[in-house]
Amino acid sequence: MSRVVHLRGARKTYHMGLHAVNALDGVDLDIERGEFVSIIGSSGSGKSTLMHMLGCLDRLSEGTYELAGEDMSTADDAQLSAIRNRKIGFVFQQFNLLGNLTVLENIALPLAYAGIPRARRLEMAAEMAHKVGLQARLDHRPTELSGGQCQRVAIARALIHEPDVLFADEPTGALDSKTGVEIMDLLDKLHAQGLTILLVTHDLKIAEHAQRKITLSDGKIIEDKQQWAKNENSTAAPEPGKGSKLGFKDMFRIGLREGLLAHKLRTALTMLGVLIGVASVISMSSFSEGSKKKQADQIRALGSNLIKILDQKLENSELYQARATGSQGLSREDAQVVKEAISDIESMAIVRDMPLDVELNLLPQPTARVRAISGDYLTVNNLTLSEGSPFTATEHRHNQRVAIVGSGLLPDKTDAADMSEQTLTLGGQPYRIVGILANRYVDTTELEAIGANDTNQDILIPLGTAINRYTYLPLRSEVDEIHLQLTREERLAPVGKRIRRILDTRHRGVNDYELIIPLDLLKSKQESQKLLDILSLSISAISLVVGGIGIMNIMLASVTERMKEIGIRRAVGARAEDIRNQFLVESILISMAGGIAGVLLAMAGVTLASRPLAFPVVFDPGIMFVAFSASFLTGLGFGAYPAIRASSQNLVDILSRE
Ligand code: ADP
Ligand code: MG
């Protein structure tokens, strides 16, 4: 016969201010496997304290304790939890069942912390419920049971893992005498099957059920009496349990049921902070990305990989100064030299602005802009014709009076046949319309900074025609703009530099031209918007922090509210780590749920808002990842303190709370 309890010199001292109370004062105790021992003594004699020490719910101040051959004095929390989980069954006066769980789930609870899969757990629990006569009540909640039935559930839970010893602290104390007798009959039956039982009671009649009666007084054993012969029918020691722990699925289920779903409204309100934070991050970034994309798209629509060189149109003394220094202003030769020097240039166009009076069908057109062009003007600027064709080589060579007209100047649906019906005069000279520019929408207010113009009001004529048929101030620069299209976007910056070097030499260092790279201008414009982005991001971040504080607040309240639950879980074998993780999972779930709801809300809201506004929206997967991680970290960060608090409670304290 092996020894289950071996206690030597056990002392437990409680300090109350300056007082020290020895609740246990040098107790030696041995209990053999298969014994049924009762402990009696007046109130305050140390019975409960002894049980708590034997049950590994608390540590001795002094002395050594071996349970089933294992030294408990040096075990850490994880080891003690495993011992409570596998070697000890505990039955309390107040039953200590979890109100949210069914009878079956309550009985199965210790098995969860042993890492046994749920289906197997419930199967084992059903079998155990049968043994204690509860087979008809499996799906009931504790509140739907009588006191006697509750205590049966508690006994079944204590026995589910075939413990070495069952500790029962006043198990009949909360029951009427008839029910108390029934519970004692059950314990007698279990003892007859070989169970080792240690029972605390102040009721002498109850104590008669035991073979051995120990009397405590002031923390000392004053009597230890064998009442009748030992039961020889003892079971073999069960195999020690394997070192597995609470599975992730169970942790998740506990978090969901006990945390989120148990207080739906509270959870929803707590989520709001995170939800608003995440929703605002996502929607702001979607709009900001959308507007950037819209601008970039428009710039590309105006011609890709463009470099524009603009004449500065100097006047008066500046103009004389420039010409005296030896610069002729922007010229066709400049364009030629640049093109020959740089191989990255795919196509080129030259523009000269013509301040001519325009009359179309005898009506003056004050908004029209006349531009004399050469080269690949249409291609470079990504323009197409809805009617007619570009200027032919002959038209260019013979300086013919032909024109291509922007669609905005003509009535809608002007077609090829109508074209010849229109009369156009520029500076009093008649022109023949040979083509119509296809309508192109440009948001000029948004693109003003990069010098975009509305081409729908343009009238294009051949450059030669303009230079040879009109006379001007002699000092005027020959051309006003040179447009260059490069083969690749990456070449824009280096080519820009080279052009500057070439033109600076040709213009003798006179600053009479300007070089524009529209895409670069856009980028620097967007740089300046970054501050706004950062500002809106910080506002969202603040809202996340506020949400996090809300979570922390609720979790702290929840920990206080659920002390009893924590104690029960710990008593059946949950490690401090399991409790900590349980509360962490809860806060992370709340936060992540808020985050996911926020992402969905933002996507729905932004999509709905963008449709009537015809505004492009870009959902960046990166920012969604950031939103998810941020809500995860919020839950983790703000849940950490409540979780640690939940897991670091003194077990005996929280179990003895009413
Ligand atoms: P019993 O269960 O026999 O009534 P207890 O073991 O509960 O006795 O208490 C034994 C002594 O230890 C009592 O004097 C009690 O006041 C004291 N005591 C028990 N628990 C605590 C505690 N947590 N803090 C301070 N004193 C305690
Ligand atoms: Mg007591």
User: Which of 495, 481, 171, 554 lies closest to 305, judged by CA?
Assistant: 495
Yes or no: say if 98 and 106 are a contact pair by the CB < 8 Å rule: yes
Measured in whole angstroms, how far is the alpha carbon of residue 304 from the centre of its chain? 38
Q: Encoding tokens for residue 338?
A: 């640049």
The pLDDT of 400-414, averaged and rounded, is: 86
Cα separation, 204 vs 212, whole angstroms: 12
At 330-386, the pLDDT tens digits run: 999 999 999 999 999 999 999 999 999 999 988 899 889 999 999 889 988 889 898
Q: How far is the CA of 29 from the centre of ligand 1 (A)?
A: 19
- pLDDT for 32 equals 92
Beta-carbon neighbour count of residue 376 at 10 Å? 16
At 511-531, the pLDDT tens digits run: 889 998 887 777 777 777 788
Yes or no: say if 294 and 651 are a contact pair by the CB < 8 Å rule: no
Q: Encoding tokens for residue 312?
A: 């500065």
The pLDDT of 303-325, averaged and rounded, is: 87
- pLDDT for 124 equals 94
- pLDDT for 232 equals 53
Answer whether residue 646 shows pLDDT above 90.
yes
Q: How far is the CA of 46 from the centre of ligand 2 (A)?
A: 7
Nearest alpha carbon, ligand 1 atom 18: 23
Q: Looking at 36-45, 374-383, 614-623, which range is the least confident one? A: 614-623
- pLDDT for 17 equals 84
Closest-lying ligand 1 atom to the alpha carbon of residue 41: 3
User: Which of 475, 469, 465, 453 lies closest to 331, judged by CA?
Assistant: 475
DSSP string, 92-118: -TT----TTS-HHHHHHHHHHTTT--H
Cα separation, 563 vs 569, whole angstroms: 10
- pLDDT for 127 equals 93
Q: Tell me the CA distances in angstroms from 319 to 315, 325, 351, 474, one per residue in order.
A: 5, 10, 20, 11
Cα separation, 649 vs 658, whole angstroms: 16
> Which ligand sits closest to the CA of 41?
1
Q: How far is the CA of 224 from the centre of ligand 1 (A)?
A: 21
| Ligand 1, CB within 6 Å, residue ranges | 14, 16, 21, 23, 41, 43-49
Q: What is the DSSP letter of 255?
A: I
Measured in whole angstroms, how far is the alpha carbon of residue 299 from the centre of its chain? 35
Q: Which residues contact 331 (CB under 8 A, 6 or more apart)?
A: 477, 478, 479
| 23 CB burial (10 A radius; 0-12, 13-18, 19+) | buried
Answer whether residue 580 shows pLDDT above 80.
yes
| Res. 534 pLDDT band, cuts 50 70 90 | confident
Per-domain residue ranges for the chain?
Answer: 3-244, 255-295+530-656, 313-511
Q: Encoding tokens for residue 169?
A: 């602290």
User: Which of 161, 164, 202, 206 lies closest to 187, judged by CA?
Assistant: 206
At 78-123, the pLDDT tens digits run: 999 999 999 999 999 889 999 989 999 999 999 999 988 999 999 9
At 2-27, the pLDDT tens digits run: 889 999 999 999 988 888 899 999 99
- pLDDT for 11 equals 95
| 271 CB burial (10 A radius; 0-12, 13-18, 19+) | buried
| Res. 632 pLDDT band, cuts 50 70 90 | very high
User: Which of 121, 114, 59 lies closest to 87, judged by CA?
Assistant: 114
At 448-463, the pLDDT tens digits run: 656 667 788 899 999 9
Nearest alpha carbon, ligand 1 atom 10: 46
Average pLDDT over the chain, rounded to an integer:
87
Q: Looking at 223-227, 522-526, 596-600, 650-654, which range is the least confident one? A: 522-526
Yes or no: say if 96 and 155 are a contact pair by the CB < 8 Å rule: no
Closest-lying ligand 1 atom to the alpha carbon of residue 24: 10
Answer whether residue 241 shows pLDDT above 50.
no
- pLDDT for 445 equals 63
Helix (H, G, I), strand (E, B) or coil at 375: strand
Answer whether residue 570 shows pLDDT above 90.
yes
Q: Phi first, then psi: what are they for 583, rounded to 5°?
A: -75, -35
Cα separation, 247 vs 578, whole angstroms: 10
For ligand 2, a single-atom ion, the residues with CB < 5 A are 48
At 279-302, the pLDDT tens digits run: 888 888 888 888 888 777 777 777
Q: Quick one: 3-244 is in which CATH superfamily?
A: P-loop containing nucleotide triphosphate hydrolases (3.40.50.300)
Answer whether residue 231 shows pLDDT above 60.
no
The pLDDT of 601-605, averaged and rounded, is: 89
Beta-carbon neighbour count of residue 37 at 10 Å? 21
- pLDDT for 240 equals 46
Longest Cα separation, the chain: 135
Long-range contacts of 133-140 (CB under 8 A, 24+ apart): 133/186, 134/103, 137/103, 138/102, 138/103, 138/104, 139/102, 139/103, 139/104, 140/102, 140/103
- pLDDT for 407 equals 87
At 459-506, the pLDDT tens digits run: 999 998 988 888 777 788 889 999 999 998 888 889 999 999 999 999
